[in-house]
Amino acid sequence: MNLHDVPGAFNFRDVGGLPAGAGRTRSGVLFRSGNLGHLTAAGRERVTALGIRRVVDLRDDNERRSEPSRLDGLGIDTVHLPMYAGSVASFFDDDLSLADVYRALIDGSAARLVEAARAVLDVQPVLVHCTVGKDRTGLSVALVLAAAGVDEDAVIADYARTEQLLPLGRNESVLRFLRHRYPDARHLDDLVTRSPAAELRAVFDDLRLRYGGPVDYLQAHGLTEAEIGGLRRALVE
């Protein structure tokens, strides 16, 4: 799990090196990050140097308008797969917990989660991101890694690592704004700053109970055995 210094972006990392049975995930194939709306010239050069050919942007239209990705002119294919049926703001309005958010994603965005896996399979090197690279990115990448046969504990550890990589100044600024707007909300800290291992483990446990497991969930919503095999060949050495 290599962290990359990409000026203007944060939580930007390569998921190479994760154990997958007798193998490991390849480096330089699948990346994940927060949004690319503040890339500097040096950040754009770094993205180019990493050889990224496709970006999978999981943000909704309002998020993309607010912070458009600074990828113009780099020749990178962008796939837009907004994950939420409602807006991101609705989760703060409704004071949802992380568990509520993930259940909404699993139940409401299954087709998009499968499309995200296909987008990773079709073109590499590929970067998956949302606004922060925590929840939508965390769940999407976790399911792709699970489909590729990565050990579950390693998938969960990769998800949980995000919490350590979010800039403190960003966290404080966002929380100040949201606490002023939602003074009675109980889940702001978790929604803005946290990615506890227990949350993703609970998602996987729920998928085992309802579908047989995370890979079975993807198959139930259209991902084929051939596509799963393709992900394993592309991502694992």
Q: Which H helix or E strand runs over 127?
A: strand 126-129
Element (H, E) at 190: helix 188-193
- How many angstroms separate the CA atoms of 115 and 220, rounded? 13
Strand partners, 79: 56
Contact present, 146 and 214 (Cβ < 8 Å) = yes
Active site includes 51? Answer: no
- According to DSSP, residue 25 is labeled B
Q: What does the alpha-carbon distance between residue 104 and residue 109 come to, in Å, rounded to a whole number?
A: 7
Residue 227 to residue 99: CA distance in whole angstroms: 28
**Strand pairing partners for 129?**
33, 57
The active-site residue, picked from 9, 98, 130, 147, is 130
Distance of CA 135 to the CA centre of its chain: 6
**Which residues belong to the active site?**
130
